[in-house]
Amino acid sequence: MFVVCGEALFDVFAAGDTPSGMALDGRIGGSPFNVALGLARLAQPVAFFGGISQGFLGARLMRALQDEGIATGLVQRLDAPTTLGLVGLDARGVPSYSFYGEGGADRVVPVAAADAVPDTTRAIHFGSYAMVVEPVASTQRALAERLHQRCVVAYDPNVRTNVEPALGRWRETIDWMAARTHLLKVSDEDLALLYPGVQHAELAARWRAAGVAAVVVTLGGEGARAYLQDGELPIAPVPTTVVDTVGAGDTFQAAMLTGLAERDALNPAALKVLPSAFWAEVLGFAARAAAITCGRRGADLPRRAELS
């Protein structure tokens, strides 16, 4: 089983003016939640590990997990509010976020909660701001430290500076995770923010030297590029009419992990020696999945039958 760690929250979109104000459209979101959703829709067994409030918004999040077939036995129900992310879209459908979540359930998961995640976990995904805000960051680091020699660790920094504006904190976390991560996916936008002027290949070489088996950089409309044992591998973009890009990176991550699982390559030793031709199939599958999400409103991730 996959375990996905991090935040589940509500993305809140403006839905037009009303006579007395503005209508808001709240949709379930959060990068890790989307990765779990993507895995479940791609027919992978997956559990969610994170903090969810005991209030009515938390109840809705729990129902969404259950409706999608995501196991909830590792969820920590906490007496804390649900984080809200206000989402604005530019003319190209690219989202920007403002988060309201200080003291939220997703951020206050105690370190002791990490003990609930079993040692038999096959692969575990970390990402986004739950890796850099306390105390949940320490909780997730404890998990990565305990499990990285037993199972595949996947990581996507998914930087949110309006949650944690200190770029050094994000860079320190990536460096710490590099020694405990087998599969590192990161967007070119995040790299430009964190390491302006530094070549992707230079960063990938640094992280691979620390222990990462494969570094995958997503390039938006330009596709993606993988940095592997046998060199660089470009992945062509999949043509699509973009509605918005909400959830596209999470879709890519879920589909990449699914592609590896379906090919029985989801173990640390295998990831280090997989040839480029194998990765081309896996990452091409991930690119097709992400293109489907880009063609739909919001984080509406594809199901397995759409990618047959």
Instruction: Please report the domains of the chain, with CATH numbers, ordered by start residue.
Output: 2-307 (3.40.1190.20)
- Identify the CA nearest to 109 among candidates 84, 87, 131, 85: 131
The pLDDT, as a whole number, for residue 3 is 98
Q: How confident is the model at residue 35 (pLDDT cuts 50, 70, 90)?
A: very high
pLDDT of residue 154: 98
What would the pLDDT profile of 58-86 be if each residue is shown by its tens digit?
999 999 999 999 999 999 999 999 999 88
pLDDT digits (tens, 9 = 90+) for 177-212: 999 999 999 999 999 999 999 999 999 999 999 999
The whole-angstrom separation of Cα 65 and Cα 260 is: 23
- pLDDT one-digit tens code per residue, 84-126: 988 877 877 777 778 899 999 999 999 999 999 999 999 999 9
List Cβ neighbours of 264 (8 Å cut-off, separation of 6 or more): none
pLDDT, tens digit (0-9, with 9 covering 90-100), for 214-247:
999 999 999 999 999 999 999 999 999 998 888 9
Spatial contact of 134 and 108, defined as CB atoms under 8 Å apart: no
> With 90 as the cut, is the pLDDT of residue 15 above it?
no
**pLDDT in the model for residue 14:** 82
Residue 292's nearest CA partner among 306, 305, 278 is 306
pTM as predicted: 0.94
**Distance from C-alpha of 221 to C-alpha of 239, rounded to nearest angstrom:** 9
Output the CA angle 102-107-214, nearest 5 degrees: 125
19: its two tokens: 């006579």
